[in-house]
Structure formats: C-alpha cells, structure tokens
Amino acid sequence: MIFLNPAALWWLSLLIPLAALYFLKVKPERHQSALLFLWEKVFQEKQSSTLFKRFRNWLSLLLLTLAFIAIVFAMAKPYFAGLSGRRNLIIIIDCSASMNTLQGGESIFEMAQQKARNIIRNLLPSQRAVLASVGTDMKILVGATSNKRELLEGISKLKPTQCALNPEAFRFLKKRKDFYPDSRALLLTDGCFIGAASLRSIEIIKVGSKKNNAGIIGFDIVRLPSGNNSDAGIYINCASTYPDQIQVDLSLACGTPGNVIKVFPLKLKKGVNRPQILKVENAPSGKWFASLDKPQSLSIDNMTCAILRDPPPVKVGILSSNGIYSLLVGSYSQGKTMTVVSKSPEVLICEGNEPEGNNVDKIIIIKPYGKSSFWNHCGSIVDLQTVDIDIAEHPVMKFLKMDNTEIEGVRQLTAPQNSNIIAKTNSGQPLIYKTTSQGKTAYVLNFDPMQGDFFLQVDFPVLLGTAVMDLYGRGASLPPVFKTGSRLPSGTATAFTGGTMLCPDNTVVAYEPDKKLKMPGFYTLKKNGRTLQIAAALLSAPDTLVASSKVESTNKPVASGIPVSLILLVSAILLISLEEILYNRRKAG
C-alpha cells in the first residue's frame, strides 16, 4: 500500500491529546442527592453489567481512536499500486439498444455507467482517462484528462441509443490509438454485437447477465403479384433467449398500432427462429405495425413498423403484331403494377428479337429468333418439350407451377455464358433465362406461347408480370423498413437533401445525406412538395438475443469499486456512530 499524501499521517500524533480530551469529556457530572442509600439499593440489583460499565469508557475510546486513524488514513489517500498497472485508460461505454435491457429494476446501461464511475473514482491523480461511447459509431465524449468531475459529468450525460452496435465503429479507435499511447482501452458492454471476440486491443468488461427476451429481428412487407394486387406478403423473423419454446401472438396493425388487422400465433424456440411468410388479403398500403404480445426485458424489439408501398405502374412497351400481350399485361396488373404504353417504355416486351436502335435497357424477348447479343446461336424449333425448372425459388418462378408442363415452339439455342438459366426443357434447351449484354438486361423466353394455347394458362401472364417486375427491379425501390442507425440510399438521400425530416418524436430537422435514422418509427421527408415516408426499426438479432452472447470479460484487473479512502471514511462514520450510541447511553441513560 502506498500513500499519495503521507504528510497526513502526522495527524496521528494528535491521538494522545485527543485521548486526554476524551476522558475530560466523559467525566460524569456530579449531582447531590439525599437518597444515595436508596440509589445504592437500586444498583445492588444490577451488578451483572458492572464489568461492561467499567470498560465502557475504554471501549468507547478504542472506537474513537479507530475512527480517527481511519480518517487520517483516508486523508493520506492510500492505494494498491500492483492492482491495475496504473496506465492511462480509454473507457468506452456501449450505447447500443440492448443496453436498455432491464435487470433488477435498472438497465444494463445504468450498471455500465456505475462501473465506469467506480473506475474513474479510483483513478490516481497521475492517471488520465478518455471517455468514449460506441453505438452506430464511436464518439469521444471527454478527451484525455485527469479531471474526475469532468469524466463523471460526461458519464451522466450519456444515454443509450436505439440502434444496434456497429462493429466497424471500433476502427475509429485504431486510428486514434496513437493519440493515447501506453493506454488501456476498456469496453463496458453486454457483449451483444457481432465481432466482440475479435476485439483484441480492447479489454471487455461484461455488464449484465443472461436475461430472457424475445423480439422481432426481421420484418418485410410487399405487395404480392396476385390478380387484384391487393394482397400483401409479410416476412417476419423472431429470436428468443428463453430456454424453452414459448408461444406468442404476433399482431399486425395498419395505420395505427391499435388498428389490428390480424393476429398470428407464433411458437418461438431458443435462438434465431426460422422466418415466417404470412399473407394478408386486401392489405391497404401505408403504415404497418407488427408487435409481440409478451412483455420482455428489452421492449424496443417487441414492435416493428414498415411501409407497404404501391409504386407507380411500370411502363411496358409491347412490340408485337399479336395484341394478346397487351391484353394479358393489362388484365394481369389491372393498371396497378404495369401499364402498356406506346412511347418511352421502361420495359420492352418483344417477339423474335429486339428492334433496331432500341434504347430500352430492360427487355423480355419471346420466341427468340435470328442473331442477337442475348444468345449465341438460335437454331430450329425442336419437338414438344416439357419444362424442367432449375431455380424454383427465383422471383420469376416462385409463383408458377410449370414443372413438367408441355411447351411448344422451343428453338435450339445457346445462352451466353453470363446467363442465369432458370428453366430448361427436358432435352436441355434453355427455356427461360436472364442475361445481360451491352448494358441491357433481358429475359429470354424460348417458346411460343401461342402454340398449344399456353398463353391461355394462368402461368403465362404471371411469368410476364414477375419478369417485368424483376427487370424493373424492386430492389431499386425503397425497402419497407430500415434498420435504426442506417442511412437512406444515396439516390433518395440526394433527392431530399436540403429538405426537412419529421422524426418519430415529432421533431422536424433539416435533412442531410449523412443523417441517420436513430429512432424506431416513421419518418416523413419533404422537399419541394414531394413527400416520402420511411420506417425504421431495430431488427438486430444480437440485440434481441440480449446478454446471451458468449462474450466474457477479458479485462485485466482494474481498480474499481468504492475507493479505499471512501471505505475508510465510511468506516470512520460508522465507528463514530457506534461510539455516539454508547456515549448517548451514558449521557441519556
């Protein structure tokens, strides 16, 4: 043990005069009585406590002496030199959403704050510390300082975010490590993020213990390509840390959280569960909410939201003398997802080959013929063939039941090497494939739908519709929900730069491209009369699987807890209180 202020030990020399003062203090007052002989009678009956009474003053003096020594030692500021290495510290507090988890009435984040405070209180005057927070990115809150008050105030100002921890944020520390040489980086975290095990230069101090929780980690809602275009498909994925399977109800609401459209019972096993695909008929577009009914230790992942969009119809151009294609496209989409246009189409459907001078980059070619960059060789028609589907889960094929369907008008054709063959004939001829050439993307449908009346089957208009939608690229449209902490895609961000953004807490901020969606809920972007609604939710498996990560503390011993000086002071107060009780007993009986 070393004393930072050894001069304070000189105060111990006051012990003897203080002891003398003590005996003067405890000297009893003298009172005259005419009834001493009766008092003697009273005290003859209480002989048993005489021994204690005799040594009571000494016991009291011993307590006061110990209290005085404790105070002097506290003033001398003792510390244990060998415990921590006493290097400068970089204290990083995890501010991710999982830190909001409640454990025994307080959140894991509050526990981490308390641990950080204890570490700071034990800093030596010669030690410096940096206070940083990590969430979607890392921020230095208090630069290298030995000012404990400043550091403690920095901790008090910290608040947990509602975003998942971004492991990339730790790169920031690597860049700045040169600024803090000979320092230890301590991360106070619940360990709920990916890549925690690979943090070698950071010592992890794990906070919180395993806690039961279940939540939504994946959510998507899209319009299904059905006949009336009013049904919606919902993708939902949940995770649970309960040791046993639990039953929860998933409520789907539209417009407002209270307007429940449908309730699905779900059985959740421990860990990440298999995703569920649910169908909602006549689903209106707009705001959608999904929530689990069971209250959990982490509440933020119990509810998620999304926007079901009805994008403007895709402009389809048809180059064919046969009007059946226009009829099929029009009746399939009913003007909602596709519309047939004569000028400036976005997707072109043509028979045989693309026209000369075509500048449409998304093409569907039916009954291929002649030379084209979308096939290497196109030969003669082969006999009746049956369909053999290679990729059943492909967006174009997943709604079709064409396996073993007889089909006619198939030509001997060689698909380019970069082609993605989705279906072949039983003889191996490429039947449906997607290929790219000269910046254009095309679906080649190597058959004649007019032969064998294939165009009358329901599969053909669905095939056309899904191929158009795939070519147009649903991926280019905004997703129904963003993860909290993410930014908008660059195209959308650029379009709304300089506009305003209404956040879920009803605050309006100026929108910048680097603006992150930090809160779960709905945002409204506005610029020049154009409005865009987007949704954000946590949807983070590591955060939902709260405190169940196998990450353990990796830190070397660090001076934390209550400082020795404070313990000594508290002990002194306790001793003085005990002595006061004894003294009070002597003074007040």
Partner 1 sequence: MLKLTDPEFIRKLEMLSLLTRKVLGGTLKADRKTLKKGSGTTFADYTEYNFGDDYRSIDWNIYARLENLVIKLFELEEDLHIYLLVDFSRSMLSKTVFAKQLAAAIGYIALNNLDRLTVYGLADHLQPIIRPSHGRSRVMPMLRALESTECFGEDTDFEQCIKEFQSRGHRPGLCVVISDFFVHGEFEKALDYLVWNRHDLFCLQVSSPQDFKCELRGDIELQCVETGESKRVTIGPAEAARFAETVKEWNLKVQRSCERRGIGFSSASVTIPFELIIQNILRHGGLVT
CA distance 132 to 158: 10
Residues in region 526-585 near partner 1 by CB under 8 A: 585
Nearest-angstrom CA–CA distance, 121 and 127: 11
**Please, what is the minimum distance in Å from the beta carbon of residue 20 to partner 1?**
18
CB closer to partner 1, 44 vs 506: 44
Q: How far apart are CA 416 and CA 420, in angstroms?
A: 9
Q: Is 55 in the site for partner 1 (CB under 8 A)?
A: no
Residue 572 beta carbon to partner 1: minimum distance, rounded to whole angstroms: 24
- Pick 37 or 58: Cβ nearer partner 1: 37
**Do 101 and 189 meet the contact criterion of CB atoms below 8 Å apart?**
no
- DSSP bridge pairs for 236: 219, 276
The reply to whether 476 sits near partner 1 by the rule CB under 8 A is no
Among 7, 38, 51, 476, interactor with partner 1 by CB under 8 A? 38
Cα Rg of the chain (Å, integer):
38
Stretch touching partner 1 by CB under 8 A, among 41-49, 354-362, 375-383, 498-506: 41-49
By the rule CB under 8 A, 42 interacts with partner 1 = yes
**Would you count residue 51 as binding partner 1 (CB under 8 A)?**
no
Using the rule CB under 8 A, which residue among 24, 35, 51, 476 binds partner 1? 35
Contact 399, 462 (CB under 8 A): yes
Give the position of tokens 């005996």. 23
Give the separation between CA 310 and CA 284, rounded to whole angstroms.
9
Q: Which is nearer to partner 1, 31 or 200 (CB)?
A: 31
For residue 316, which phi and psi values (nearest 5 degrees)?
-110, 130
Q: Which of 10, 43, 55, 179 binds partner 1 (CB under 8 A)?
A: 43
Sign of the four-CA dihedral 315, 319, 321, 322: negative
Please check whether residue 244 is in contact with residue 232, taking contact to mean a CB–CB distance below 8 angstroms. Answer: no
Shortest Cβ 49–partner 1 spacing (Å): 9
How many CA atoms, within 13 angstroms, populate the side-chain half-sphere of residue 286?
Answer: 10
Name which of 38 and 277 has its Cβ closer to partner 1.
38
Is 246 within 8 Å of 240 (Cβ atoms)? Answer: yes
Comparing C-alpha atoms, which of 401, 529, 404, 481 is closest to residue 236? 481
Closer to partner 1 by Cβ: residue 398 or 587 = 587
Closest approach, Cβ 55 to partner 1, in A, equals 13
Rounded Cα distance between 376 and 535, Å, is: 45
Is 37 a binder of partner 1 (CB under 8 A)?
yes
Q: Which of 6, 41, 477, 566 binds partner 1 (CB under 8 A)?
A: 41
- Looking at the Cβ atoms of 52 and 380, the one nearer to partner 1 is 52
Of the candidate spans 43-51, 196-204, 432-440, 516-524, the one that interacts with partner 1 by CB under 8 A turns out to be 43-51
- Please tell me the distance from the alpha carbon of residue 109 to that of residue 103, in angstroms, as a whole number: 10
Minimum distance between the CB of residue 17 and partner 1, rounded to whole angstroms? 22
**CB 160 → partner 1: shortest distance, Å?**
56
Of residues 13 through 32, those in contact with partner 1 by CB under 8 A are 26, 28-32
Distance between CA atoms of residues 86 and 507, nearest Å: 45
- Is 261 in a helix, a strand, or coil? strand
Residue 37 CA to residue 40 CA, distance in Å, equals: 5
Query: Which is nearer to partner 1, 31 or 274 (by Cβ)?
Result: 31
Nearest distance, CB of residue 47 and partner 1, angstroms: 12
Q: Using CB under 8 A, which of the segments 33-41, 88-96, 276-284, 434-442 binds partner 1?
A: 33-41
Instruction: Give me the residues that bind partner 1 (CB under 8 A), please.
Output: 26, 28-43, 45-46, 53, 585-589
